[in-house]
Amino acid sequence: MPRLRYLPSNHGRASNYPSNRALACGSQRTTRALDDGGKEHMKTHFAMMAGYNAWANGRLYGIARQLPDEQYRRDVGAYFKSLHGTLNHILVADLIWMHRLTDAGDQPKHLDAIVFDDLPSLWAARQQMDQRIISYVEGLSDAQFEEMWSYRTLNGTSWKQRRRETHAHLFNHQTHHRAQAHAILTMIGISEPPGLDLLFMQRERS
């Protein structure tokens, strides 16, 4: 993976970002709905989500790489300002969570960090991260999804949750911010951004 360079953003709103407590509670509700009592279904589900993550990012970056630099960096008033800021944030969050889950790799200190200021480097890092997530999920046993594990947030707060709960948050967070990126494409003049629905991938691969 290319060497990371953390360039702080000046959007000044990181303190208003949803708390890890709120995110954890949401993820717990989501995974409870998914868990029908069969632990063996967790790995199948998260393997699908890891594949979907890579597929959706490929479609999103495919459009981003065709944009003029001015459109790519244009501040449209989104939470992370631009497509550039939003795509960086998605990678930042994945780096943070994969560091927590594996105790390896870089861990940015700020949610609005610009880890790559040029799109080609960001795209290369995105592809490597997506493959890293796929390999990580493939390497887990069914029982590991039910394990309790501890981690610390960026402000040092300690939390303890089941792995499946934090995995649900990981993939939900990606989807949430890809939706923001998709909206940004519309705002900068892309009349029909590519659909990112999970169902589209399932139909494509059926």
Instruction: Give all domains of the chain, ordered by start, each with its CATH number.
Output: 24-205 (1.20.120.450)
Examine the pLDDT at 31 and tell me if it is beyond 70.
no
SS (H, E, C) the chain: CCCCCCECCCCCCHHHCCCHHHHHHHHHHHHHHHCCCCCHHHHHHHHHHHHHHHHHHHHHHHHHCCCCHHHHHCCCCECCECHHHHHHHHHHHHHHHHHHHHCCCCCCCCCCCECCCCHHHHHHHHHHHHHHHHHHHHCCCCHHHHCEEEEECCCCCEEEEEHHHHHHHHHHHHHHHHHHHHHHHHHCCCCCCCCCCHHHHHHHHC
pLDDT of the residue at 46: 95
pLDDT of the residue at 102: 93
Percent of the chain with pLDDT over 90: 71
Distance, in Å, from the CA atom of 149 to the CA atom of 61, rounded to the nearest integer, reads: 33
Q: In terms of pLDDT, which residue wins out, 20 or 206?
A: 206
pLDDT of the residue at 121: 98
The tens digit of pLDDT for each residue in 78-129 reads 999 999 999 999 999 999 999 999 999 888 999 999 999 999 999 999 999 9
pLDDT of the residue at 15: 36
Examine the pLDDT at 195 and tell me if it is beyond 70.
yes
The tens digit of pLDDT for each residue in 157-183 reads 999 999 999 999 999 999 999 999 999
pLDDT of the residue at 142: 87
pLDDT of the residue at 16: 39
